[in-house]
Amino acid sequence: MKTFAFINQKGGVGKTTVAINLARALSLKGLRVLVVDFDPQANAGSGLGVRVSKTKSIYQAIQEGNCEPYIKEVLPNLFVLPSSIDLVGLEVELVKYPNREYVLKELLSKSSFNSKALTEFFDFVFIDSPPSLSLITINILCASEGVMIPLQCEYYALEGLSLLIRTIRGVKKNLNPDLVLFGLVLTMYDKRNRLSQEIASEAKKHFKWIIFDTVIPRTVRVSEAASFGKSVIDYEKNNQASQAFLKLADEFLDRVRSKTQASLVNKV
């Protein structure tokens, strides 16, 4: 399993933060990771220090049918295909495409990098998504094998999750039979806050079979790091969130490699 969607239709729950920091943690373990930013807000690119440009984004890659010229290596083993505000228009334009649900999948499968197919060159491809369940999100789900759902440890975190899971099931049934719900990540956990603890234990109870043990704590360093275009791991290695992302990377890799877990996650 290589291609993962980072999805939650709720805004500001940590999709981009989990995608880029997990990608960075994996790159430090020697794995080659491509972060595909498919959100017009373009936070994944800027969070990894890429200057967002209107003329050099995934939007142009789609027009040209090739990602290679637009992929940037930001750190050893860590690559980004940035987005731009142009992507706002894509939602409307996609309707005109004959296989409108598979535009992203086709782009990724026909592009190459360093003379190899993308999925051959990269160990993992992480796709960051906008906070919506739109044609853009459907494209992401059709282009992915696994779904990662970040859950913010706040009130309402679990609300909307059943709609999201239903959407994933629908896509699996009708558009992409290979799709699996791969994992839920609890994030912005504040151990001093009772509500945060309650949400975490509730989520662990209901989604025991899929939730990662590693919980990402809330710390201001995470947003500070993003404002400097850095992962928190590069910004402050000993920070508790950095350590949590490195631990999450181990757990993620164990899950990718374990066959039992793979059949378990296939329940959805």
Ligand X SMILES: Nc1ncnc2c1ncn2[C@@H]1O[C@H](COP(=O)(O)OP(=O)(O)OP(=O)(O)O)[C@@H](O)[C@H]1O
Nearer to ligand X by Cβ, of 216 and 256: the residue is: 216
Structure tokens at 45: 């690119």
At closest approach, how far in Å is the CB of 197 from Mg ion?
Answer: 25
Residue 168, CA distances (Å) to 13, 69, 143, 255 in order: 18, 31, 12, 20
SS3 128: strand
Only one of the segments 10-18, 93-101, 190-198, 221-229 lies at the binding site for Mg ion (rule: CB under 5 A); that segment is 10-18
With the C-alpha atoms ordered 122, 63, 82, 178, is the resulting torsion angle positive or negative?
A: negative
Q: Contact positions toward ligand X, by CB under 6 A?
A: 11-17, 39, 41, 43, 131, 187-188, 216, 218-219, 222-223, 226, 241
Only one of the segments 7-15, 83-91, 175-183, 190-198 lies at the binding site for Mg ion (rule: CB under 5 A); that segment is 7-15
Nearer to ligand X by Cβ, of 21 and 111: the residue is: 21
End-to-end CA separation in angstroms for the chain: 16
Residue 133 interacting partner from ligand X, Mg ion, none (CB closer than 5 to 8 Å by kind)? none
Residues 208-227 that bind Mg ion (CB under 5 A): none
In this chain, which residue has its C-beta nearest to Mg ion? 16
Among 43, 83, 144, 242, binds Mg ion (CB under 5 A): 43
Nearer to ligand X by Cβ, of 111 and 222: the residue is: 222
DSSP string, 44-110: HHHHTTPPP-TTSSHHHHHHHT--GGG-EEEETTEEEE---TTHHHHHHHHTTSTTGGGHHHHHHHH
Structure tokens at 259: 């066959």
Only one of the segments 16-24, 62-70, 87-95, 133-141 lies at the binding site for Mg ion (rule: CB under 5 A); that segment is 16-24
Q: Which DSSP state fits 242?
A: H
At closest approach, how far in Å is the CB of 190 from ligand X?
Answer: 9
At closest approach, how far in Å is the CB of 8 from Mg ion?
Answer: 9
Nearer to Mg ion by Cβ, of 43 and 231: the residue is: 43
Selection from 50, 177, 73, 58 nearest residue 111 by Cα:
58
Which residues are CB-neighbours of 160 under 8 A, at least 6 positions away? 8, 9, 10
At closest approach, how far in Å is the CB of 9 from ligand X?
Answer: 8
Among 9, 16, 196, 242, binds Mg ion (CB under 5 A): 16
